[in-house]
């Protein structure tokens, strides 16, 4: 059984403020350690659950956050700038979204945003407001791979329970503000991640892929005016900050953004 793990940073246990997830943040070195520890806890659970192969994608910012020499040697890791969002997802039996965060605008969610807090305000997929959780679950669904587990704060887990029927939701902290939350102790958070991953892998294909039927229209509202791709013929401009693209699948529509 092959498991694909997408790992973001804002929802990692022990992380609750911007300085931990920004490359120039004073607490970023600690954030990298916390991210690496959560990944190792997840990989342990995957193999306990029966995984024969685990592929981990560092999906935060430029994709170079995990501390390579401290990672579990049983898994393989995708790091750095890559040509695809999920290279190697084909043929996998399950997707884990580790360390994810709530979509932009969710009150009290730790470090909530959608893709880019600096440039993206809101995103909709076929008219439904969406965050990175739905976006990545749907991209995996384009390849027939089910989202079997998520981890993050309580707001992210609530989002997942509404979205994906049967996926294991591991709550490692409770959001109290954009830059603050109530965190579990390190050992307990890692224990929950390992237990959740084991349970999710054992559930296997009983969890269906999350599929968005095509054609797929993605609408994006930008934070700032003057950034619309006005010269492209495949873009529909809706107002001074909002545009739409349409493709046969979520992945192909997203690539048009």
Q: Given CA atoms 133, 135, 141, 145 in this order, what sign does their dihedral have?
A: negative
Per-residue DSSP letter, 117: T
Torsion of CA 133, 136, 142, 147, to 10 degrees: -60
- Find the helix packing angle between 154-163 and 132-142, rounded to 10°: 40
- Find the helix packing angle between 186-203 and 28-48, rounded to 10°: 40
The enclosing H or E element of 161 equals: helix 154-163
Per-residue exposure over 221-241, b if at least 16 CB sit within 10 Å of its own CB, e if not: bbeeeeebeeeeeebeeeeeb
d(CA 245, CA 255): 9
Residue 101 is a catalytic residue: no
Query: Which one from 60, 101, 113, 190 is the annotated catalytic residue?
Result: 113
- Catalytic (active-site) positions: 113
């Amino acid at each position: 059984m092959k498991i694909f793990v997408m790992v973001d940073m804002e929802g990692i246990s022990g992380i609750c403020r911007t300085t931990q997830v920004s490359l120039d943040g004073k607490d970023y070195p600690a954030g990298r350690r916390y991210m690496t520890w959560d990944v190792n806890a997840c990989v342990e659970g995957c193999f306990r659950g029966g995984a024969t192969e685990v592929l981990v994608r560092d999906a935060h910012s430029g994709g170079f956050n995990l501390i390579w020499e401290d990672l579990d040697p049983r898994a393989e890791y995708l790091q750095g700038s890559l040509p695809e969002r999920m290279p190697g997802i084909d043929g996998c039996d399950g997707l884990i979204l580790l360390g994810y965060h709530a979509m932009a605008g969710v009150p009290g969610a730790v470090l909530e945003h959608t893709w880019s807090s600096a440039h993206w305000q809101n995103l909709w997929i076929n008219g439904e407001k969406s965050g990175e959780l739905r976006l990545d679950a749907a991209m995996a669904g384009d390849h027939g791979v089910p989202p079997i587990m998520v981890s993050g704060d309580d707001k992210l887990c609530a989002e997942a329970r509404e979205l994906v029927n049967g996926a294991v939701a591991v709550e490692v902290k409770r959001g109290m503000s954009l830059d603050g939350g109530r965190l579990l102790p390190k050992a307990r958070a890692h224990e929950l991640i390992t237990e959740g991953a084991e349970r999710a892998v054992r559930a296997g294909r009983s969890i269906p892929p999350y599929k968005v039927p095509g054609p797929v229209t993605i609408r994006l509202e930008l934070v700032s005016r003057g950034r619309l791709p006005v010269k492209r013929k495949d873009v529909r401009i809706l107002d001074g900050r909002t545009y739409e693209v349409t493709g046969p699948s979520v992945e192909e529509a997203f690539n048009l953004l």
